[in-house]
Amino acid sequence: MTMTLPYHRVNVLTGTKAARIIEDASEYAHLVKRAQRPLLVLGSWSLTTTLGGKLLIEYGVEIAKTLDIPICATAHTKKKLLELGVEPASSYDIIEILNHLKDPAWKGVKKEGNHDLVMFLGFRTDLGEQGLSTLKHYAPHLKTMTLCKFYYPHASYSLSNFRKDEQWKEFLDNLITNLKSKEA
């Protein structure tokens, strides 16, 4: 069978339009670099998930720093970001930022225009998948990219279900390295 199931089965795709699975961090980095106005959205699980001894949100911060990608801090992540010395560009909750993103005329968190690539890290997979469905259906003007270790069918680009956290850590580390590199 050639169908990929998401890790959490409540998120099984019922439809026709599924994410492209990418496992190569350099490909992800390439997509991010190519984006004009990327955005990183951080969710509540980034506060409770640890990976390689660090909080997930710290990976988020590192990713954002590489290319000065603005952060939207959802749930109560803003407080931790401030503790980490990062001022998020906005602090909408997840549904609110989605509600903005689906308007192509929205000015974006930096008032420079709506985003063309939105990266998600640290969401409950069910809420995340529902939110990505909104963007899949209503935001054809942007691409979505998930950074968690789960396959998200409603995203434009998703990782596969990583069996081990080590794979995920390696991917994120590689992504950061690639984003830092000057090459496109």
Partner 1 sequence: MAVAAKKKNLRKDTVNEIIRAEDNWEPVGHTPMPEIPDLRNWDMRLMKTYKPFYAPMCDLCCFCTYGKCDLTGDKRGACGIDISTQQARVVLLACCMGMSAHGGHARHVLHYLIEKHGRDYKINLGDQIFVEAPHIRTVLGLKPETLGDLEKAMDYVESQLIHAISSLHTGQEGSALDYESKALHISMLDHVAMEVGDIAQIVGFGYPTSVADTPLVDMGWGSIDKTKPTILLVGHNPVTAVPIVDYINEHGLQDKVEVGGICCTALEVTRYTDRAKIVGPLSRQLYFIRTGFADVIVTDEQCIRTDIAIEAAKVGTALIATTDKACYGLEDYSKRETDEIVKDMLDGKQTLIFDPDKAAEAAVRVALELAPKRKKELVTPEQVPDLAKDHRLCNMCSQVCPNLLPVGDAIEAAKNGNLQPLTEVFNKCIGCGKCEQECPRHVPIFKMMQAVAGSETWKVRAGRGPIMDVEIRKVGAPIVLGTIPGIIAIVGCSNFPEEISEVADIAEEFAKRKYIVVLTGCSAMAAGMKKDKEGKTIYEKYPPNFDAGGVLNIGSCVANSHITGAAMKVANIFATLPLRGNYEVIADYILNRVGACGLAWGAYSQKAASIATGCNRLGIPVVLGPHSAKYRRLYMSRKEEDDWTVMDGREKKLVDTQEPSPEHLITVVESKERAMVTMAKLCIRKNDTAQGRQIKLTHYIGLHKQHLGTLPDDLHLYVRKASDIPIFFKKEVMAYLEKVGWKEKPVLTLPTLIGTYPSEVPIESVVH
Dihedral pair phi/psi, residue 159, rounded to 5°? -75, 165
User: Rule CB under 8 A: is residue 75 a binding residue for partner 1?
Assistant: yes
The C-alpha atoms of residue 46 and residue 37 are separated, in whole angstroms, by 22
In the complex, what is the shortest distance from the CB of residue 10 to partner 1, in angstroms, rounded to a whole number? 5
Residue 106 C-alpha from the chain's centroid:
19
Coil, helix or strand for 97? helix
Q: What is the C-alpha separation between 145 and 175, in angstroms, rounded? A: 13
Strand partners, 21: 158
* One residue of 100, 116, 167, 170 binding partner 1 per CB under 8 A: 100
Select 5 or 181, whichever has its Cβ closest to partner 1: 5
Does position 79 bind partner 1 by CB under 8 A? Answer: yes
Binding mask 28-47 for partner 1 (x = CB under 8 A): ---------------xx---
Location of structure tokens 């699980």: 45
Query: Interface residues with partner 1 (CB under 8 A)?
Result: 7-12, 14-17, 43-44, 73-76, 78-79, 82-83, 90-91, 93-96, 98-100, 103, 106, 123-127, 130-131, 133-134, 136-138, 140
